Amino acid sequence: MTMRPVIGVTGNIMQAPEDKFKSFKINYSPWGYTEAVRLAGGTPVILPLTEPTCAAHYVSLIDGLVLTGGEDISPYLYNEEPHVNIEATSPTRDAVETALIKEALAQGKPILAICRGMQLVNVVLGGNLYQDLAGQANVTIQHVQKSRPSMATHSIKVKAGSYLSQLVADGCLINSIHHQAIRELGEGLIVSARSKDGVIEAIESQEGSLILGVQWHPERLTKHDECSMAIFQDLIERALEAKQA
């Protein structure tokens, strides 16, 4: 029987949408992440937002970590005041996921960081962000696409010889739903893909394959895009390798 690694998928909290349950808070993660992990050969487990002190135990229970998309990251994490166009932030989520990232790195558990997740990894490792791409003169591509999220809308340039280049073809099309982006890289990271206007679209570890981060949302494309599925299959392979090490 093929071993299925356990993949932790970061969750979030929202208020129940129906009137009679308005007082209830709900732990959730968008379905696409867990389904992509399942289809790729892993067993997904949603990690609820709780105390950062729980991070070490959570990470000890999983073989790999998916950091999901969501709110803007607080600029105070990289010593900046909030830009006029910054959107909602979640200090609680920032704190919990920061702890998860540090523990995953300490325990040697591979990370797939998606959109917000990639940005947070960069910040945790000492980098910073453009708080709003709309104010950057060189940004000429629509990074907050108006097409549905399951449609790829712009191309990326993949760095030759990068870890990502084994999974994603140069010039492939991706979806794009972000108004923030990496400005300066964190320690131990390299850029493995950019959009044609220069925005960083993917990062990875300088050494090894512990971290792979993508700015787009492959979990929304896996049903019809081989490169997107390859990103999740790669996480499963990295998790199995770490589990057997």
Just list the catalytic residues: 115, 217, 219
Cα 28 to Cα 13: distance, rounded to the nearest angstrom: 6
Q: Which two tokens stand for residue 228?
A: 């997107």
Identify each DSSP E strand in 42-145 by its residue range. Answer: 43-47, 64-67, 111-114, 129-130
Cα 170 to Cα 193: distance, rounded to the nearest angstrom: 9
Question: Residue holding tokens 């007082």?
Answer: 23
Answer whether 142's CB lies under 8 Å from 176's CB: yes
Cα 131 to Cα 59: distance, rounded to the nearest angstrom: 29
Closest CA to 217 of 232, 204, 205, 198: 232
Q: Which two tokens stand for residue 241?
A: 């390798």
- Positive or negative, the Cα torsion across 181, 183, 188, 189? positive
Answer whether 129's CB lies under 8 Å from 72's CB: no
Closest CA to 97 of 47, 140, 137: 47
Count CA within 13 A, CB hemisphere, residue 185.
16
